[in-house]
Amino acid sequence: MNASLERMLHEIQVETADSSAWTGISAIEPAVIDALRQTDRGAFVGDDYRHLAYANRPLPVGFGQTISQPFIVALMTQLLLPRPDATMLEIGTGSCYQAAVLARLVKRVVSIEIIAALAERATKQIAKLAIDNVDIHHGDGYRGWPELAPYDGIIVTACATEIPPPLIEQLKPGARMVIPVGAAYGPQDLLVVEKSLAGVTSSRSVLPVAFVPFKRSADDPALA
C-alpha cells in the first residue's frame, strides 16, 4: 500500500464531504476511487513536483498550465456518470492525468489539447504507460471533435467564458457535460450541463472553482 496515495484518497473524501452542501455529493464512489488508486499521479508531473504528486493540490505542468487538484478530478469524473461502454470527449489534455483516470472507467476518451508541445508529451506518456483507449489530438477544443460525435459525456478542464455551442451539439441526448464557466482568473462556476432526451439543454452550478483559461486559436496565432 502506498501511504501517500491513500492519504490523498482520504483527503478527497474529506473535501467531498465538506463541499457536499454545494455539490449534493457526499462521497466519491468506489469505482472512481479505484480509478484514482490505479492511476499513478506521479507519472503525470515533472521531476520537480514528484514529491508532491499525492498532495491534494493542483501542480504546475509547464507552459503555464496545471494538473488539476485530485478532489476536482474525482468530482468531475463522478459528475460525468462514466459507464463502461461510453465514449467521452475531454477538452484540455494538459498532463493527461484526468483522461487516464477516466479511461479506466469508460471505453474510450478523446482528448483535445491546444498547446502542441503538451499534446505531444501526453501522447508519449500514455504510450509509455500502455494506455490504449485515450486518443489525443492537437487543436482548439472549442470546435470539439466532430469525427466521433455524439459523445456520452464531455469534460472541459479549462475555464470558458461561455459553453461552446459545438460542444453542446456534440453531446448525446441524455448525456452530460461538466465545464467550468466564468472569468479568466475571476469568479468561476463548475457547471453540469444536461441535454434531455428531447434535446433540451439545462445547466446548474455545482461548485465555485479556479481553472486556467480556455484559449482560442483565433486569438493567438502561436496556437493554430
Catalytic residue numbers read 68
Task: Give the integer Cα–Cα distance in Å for 116 and 93.
Answer: 11
Residues in the chain: 224
Of 70, 82, 92, 182, which lies in the binding site for ligand SAH, with binding defined by CB under 6 A? 92
Interaction of residue 215 with ligand SAH, rule CB under 6 A:
yes
Give Cα separations from 60 to 63, 65, 157, 180, 198 (angstroms): 8, 6, 14, 19, 41
Is 16 a binder of ligand SAH (CB under 6 A)? no
Give the residue, chosen from 78, 98, 123, 170, that forms a contact with ligand SAH under the rule CB under 6 A.
Answer: 98
DSSP 83: -
Q: Which is nearer to ligand SAH, 20 or 34 (CB)?
A: 34
Estimate to the nearest angstrom the gap between the alpha carbon of 60 and the chain centroid: 16
Question: Does 135 contact ligand SAH by CB under 6 A?
Answer: no
Q: d(Cα 96, Cα 41) in Å, to the nearest integer? A: 10
Q: Contacting ligand SAH (CB under 6 A), which of 71, 97, 145, 151?
A: 97
Calpha distance 153→179 (Å, rounded): 11
Q: How far apart are CA 32 and CA 106, in angstroms?
A: 11
Does 115 bind ligand SAH (CB under 6 A)? Our answer is: yes
- Of these, 82, 94, 144, 182, which contacts ligand SAH (CB under 6 A)? 94
Cell of 164: 461552446
Give the nearer residue to ligand SAH in terms of CB position, either 33 or 74.
74
- Total residues at the site for ligand SAH (CB under 6 A)? 24
182 in helix, strand or coil? strand
Please list the residues that pair with 160 across neighbouring strands: 181
Residues 37-76: x/- map of binding to ligand SAH (CB under 6 A)? ----------------------------xxxx--------
Which residue of 141, 153, 180, 182 would you call a contact of ligand SAH, by CB under 6 A?
141
Residues that bind ligand SAH (CB under 6 A): 65-68, 91-92, 94-95, 97-98, 112-115, 118, 140-142, 157-158, 212, 214-216
